[in-house]
Amino acid sequence: MILIVFAIVLLALLGMPLFTVLAVIALLFFRGAGIDTAAVIIEMNRLATAPMLIAIPLFTFAGYLFAEAGSPRRLVRFSRAVLGWVPGGLALVALVACAVFTAFTGASGVTIIAMGGILMPALLAERYGERFTLGLLTTTGSLGLLFPPSLPVILYAYVAQVSVDKLFLAGLLPGLLLILMLGLYAARAARDVPRHRFTTGEVLAAARGAAWELPLPLAVLGGIYSGIVTITEAAALTALYALVVEVFIYHDITIRALPRIMKESTVLVGGILIILAAALGLTNYLIDAEVPYAIFDWMQRFVQSKLLFLLMLNLFLLVVGCLMDIFSALIVVVPLIVPIAQGYGVDLLHLGIIFLVNLEIGYSTPPVGLNLFIASFRFRRPVTELYHASLPFLLILLIALFIITYVPGLTLFLTGPAAPAAAG
């Protein structure tokens, strides 16, 4: 028994695909409980019963289209024309542009790859410090995960069975707080950087250049926040719109390139959904076996207050966040934490935002945060240099995390507490 556990842990740490690790554990549990192993497969069928999951391939495809088209360039030009005159203007541009881009692409690695190449030389040319620039671009890669139509939010809503529209609304103020705090830091760091003049002409020219793309974030954000469209409708319209605009209006993407981009996005989708498929059986087994409740009972002996629980949750998730990517962490950890958090009286919307911000930070946390490696690859710098560079940004994000965690009102101000509603 111990030998099997040891072997599984070792294989997992050596890089066995996570979904196979989960499947092995599920198979062993089911076997041990004398349940037919076909139960693992029956749980997989459930993927085809959730309307919300349709949004995942559609949004991912739209995000990949934008990443390969000229959208990052146009987005940066426009934000620069609008925000360039503020102190720390270009840094602020980087923050906002990366946030919008991450919201659409979901996986933050894509943001660093697509935006970094444009923003890095621009920031350096304006004599922002090199270390500051590296840190900024590495950590902002995950900013924007809280805004629609970010995939991690959709996944949390699915796994925790909360309303996805409410969760997006709940993430609005915390997301703005993150951008505000990093923006203030950027403005302070950019005291010596020459400012630009604001010219209406450039704003108009940039807006004309991006005329087809600018309305989209506004429409998606507005549509989802206001509840006019459901998340799946927004996904379908975004995918179709992105396809038409990038292929037939901007001509950035040739039709010949389309199948490859489509395949690329399905590879990411497959990677996520198969983990979900494998985890459904496992987490269901654990919940049926009342494992989370047992953990809760055990924890209550040491942790009585909700505040202490939240602190431990933060620490735990920071570790999880730098070991696992955000999708698998959500899929595997959320179902097990939800009953415990409910035991401590934590609101599920609040829990979701804590989860996402925590995992977002974990992405850039040394030694193994994924963003650090992607940035190291993209900017051709040793990872250790990026550890240093991202440190001040991490500190700010951690402060923001603690505010978000211990001031639930920030999250729940717009939504009220989560109704125990079924997922839509």
Among 243, 291, 391, 396, binds another protein (CB under 8 A): 243
Q: Give yes or no for residue 56 binding another protein (CB under 8 A).
A: yes
Q: Give yes or no for residue 11 binding another protein (CB under 8 A).
A: yes
Interface with another protein in residues 24-43 (CB under 8 A): 24, 27, 37-38, 40-42
Q: Give yes or no for residue 47 binding another protein (CB under 8 A).
A: yes
Measured from the Cβ of residue 4, the count of other Cβ atoms closer than 10 Å reads: 11
Q: Tell me how far, at minimum, the Cβ of 41 lies from another protein, in Å.
A: 4
CA distance 380 to 50: 42
Q: Give yes or no for residue 342 binding another protein (CB under 8 A).
A: no
Q: Give yes or no for residue 64 binding another protein (CB under 8 A).
A: yes
Closest-CA residue to 252 (of 209, 204, 201): 209
Among 17, 87, 129, 392, binds another protein (CB under 8 A): 17
Q: Give yes or no for residue 236 binding another protein (CB under 8 A).
A: yes
In this complex, which beta carbon is closest to another protein, that of residue 68 or of residue 213?
68
Closest-CA residue to 292 (of 355, 356, 344): 344
Stretch that binds another protein, among 172-180, 322-330, 337-345, 390-398 (CB under 8 A): 322-330
CA distance 320 to 324: 6
Here the tokens at position 373 are 């490696």
Q: Give yes or no for residue 160 binding another protein (CB under 8 A).
A: no
Here the tokens at position 99 are 């946030």
CA distance 111 to 73: 12
Q: Give yes or no for residue 251 binding another protein (CB under 8 A).
A: no
What does the angle CA 237 – CA 240 – CA 243 come to, to the nearest 5 degrees? 145
Interface with another protein in residues 269-308 (CB under 8 A): 269-277
Q: Give yes or no for residue 421 binding another protein (CB under 8 A).
A: no
How far, in whole angstroms, is CA 294 from its chain's centroid?
A: 30
Q: Tell me how far, at minimum, the Cβ of 179 lies from another protein, in Å.
A: 22
Among 81, 143, 235, 286, binds another protein (CB under 8 A): 235
Stretch that binds another protein, among 64-72, 189-197, 335-343, 411-419 (CB under 8 A): 64-72
Among 4, 33, 51, 399, binds another protein (CB under 8 A): 51
In this complex, which beta carbon is closest to another protein, that of residue 67 or of residue 418?
67
Among 71, 150, 163, 232, binds another protein (CB under 8 A): 232
Among 1, 3, 15, 382, binds another protein (CB under 8 A): 15
Q: Helix, strand or coil for residue 116?
A: helix
How far, in whole angstroms, is CA 118 from its chain's centroid?
A: 21
Among 259, 345, 409, 420, binds another protein (CB under 8 A): 259
In this complex, which beta carbon is closest to another protein, that of residue 18 or of residue 310?
18
For 242: left if phi > 0, alpha if psi spans -120 to 50, otherwise beta; the answer is: alpha
- Residues in CB range of 243: below 8 A, 6 or more apart: 62, 65
Measured from the Cβ of residue 39, the count of other Cβ atoms closer than 10 Å reads: 16
Among 127, 251, 263, 388, binds another protein (CB under 8 A): 263
Among 260, 298, 402, 413, binds another protein (CB under 8 A): 260
Interface with another protein in residues 109-138 (CB under 8 A): 109-110, 113-114
Q: Give yes or no for residue 108 binding another protein (CB under 8 A).
A: yes
Q: Tell me how far, at minimum, the Cβ of 378 lies from another protein, in Å.
A: 7
Q: Which residue matches tokens 């350096």? A: 124
Among 35, 54, 247, 336, binds another protein (CB under 8 A): 54
CB distance 303 to 309 below 8 Å:
yes
CA distance 392 to 134: 11
Burial of 121 (0-12, 13-18, 19+ CB in 10 A): exposed
Interface with another protein in residues 351-410 (CB under 8 A): 368, 370, 373-374, 377-378
Residue type, 145: L
Residue type, 109: G
Determine the size of the site formed for another protein (CB under 8 A): 78
The beta strands (E) that lie in 285-383 are given as none
What does the angle CA 108 – CA 114 – CA 117 come to, to the nearest 5 degrees? 125
What is the contact mask toward another protein in residues 68 to 87, using x (rule: CB under 8 A)? x-------------------
- Residues in CB range of 76: below 8 A, 6 or more apart: 93, 97, 115, 118, 119, 122
Q: Give yes or no for residue 153 binding another protein (CB under 8 A).
A: no
Stretch that binds another protein, among 70-78, 187-195, 263-271, 286-294 (CB under 8 A): 263-271
